[in-house]
Amino acid sequence: MQRLIITIRASISESSTSRCMIRYDTLLDYMAQSIQLAECQFKSILYDKFPYLRCKEEALERGLCLFHDETYLSHSKKNEGTVRERLLTKIDYSMAEKQPLSCIGYHIPDIEVKNRIGFSAPVYFTDAIFHGSATFSNLSFACSDFSNTTFNGVTFNLVTFSGQTSFFNAKFLGKTLFFISIFMQNVNFNEARFEDVDYVNTRFQKQALFQ
């Protein structure tokens, strides 16, 4: 009889544990889905005007994604590499699929974008901050918006700007070089600030605004 009672108790305990494990696993699945579905909470006036530009990246603990959370970028070299590789992947996708590239308000480490097929859809680096040097080489931009962008050393080498281009109120810190590049449509540099800039064999085929 004593052995029977022990066996029954063991069965009840195992059954209860099983039920608890099921509930716990279900909770973990629900939490994982909630985290995965939580999008970046970054706000921009452009998002209100053009909803398709909204950031759809997964939010981190602070409610911002890896591109919009400056503390994530500055935390480690590993994080810098993650941001860089993720952005290059987005760039390649935008080019291949001919989709707009929205990098509005991004915090970007040093980066090289070169020898690619080029952008055939609009590109938005509006309000972005390049925390390291940036090089754009041997590629083309359609319409591009670098308004309010902060550069910390940038080179545009063998770049064709085939559409309307804006560097309105951009900050060009450090060395800026436009080398053998061409602006085929109007370009707006109004209120842009330069520390050290060179235009080497660069052509402006339409109006270039500098005020």
Q: What is the pLDDT of residues 56-66, one digit of tens each?
A: 999 998 899 99
**Between 209 and 116, where is the model more confident?**
209
Which of 71, 41, 74, 75 is CA-nearest to residue 59?
A: 41
- Residue 97 banded pLDDT, cuts 50, 70, 90: very high
CA distances from 134 to 6, 43, 118, 169, 208 (A): 71, 25, 16, 18, 22
Stretch among 20-34, 118-132, 140-154, 160-174 having the lowest mean pLDDT: 20-34
27 pLDDT more than 50: no
118 pLDDT more than 70: yes
- Name, of 43-52, 73-82, 185-194, the range with top average pLDDT: 185-194
- Torsional sign, CA 193, 71, 133, 123: negative
Average pLDDT value for residue range 152-169: 98
101 pLDDT more than 50: yes
CB 184 within 8 A of CB 207: no
- Residue 106 banded pLDDT, cuts 50, 70, 90: very high
**Between 2 and 150, where is the model more confident?**
150
Percent of the chain with pLDDT over 70: 82
- Using only the alpha carbons of the chain, give its radius of gyration: 25
Average pLDDT value for residue range 91-115: 96
Side-chain-facing half-sphere of 116: CA atoms under 13 Å: 21
Question: In which element (H, E) is residue 88 found?
Answer: helix 77-97
What was the pLDDT predicted at 116? 87
pTM of the model: 0.80
Average pLDDT value for residue range 124-144: 97
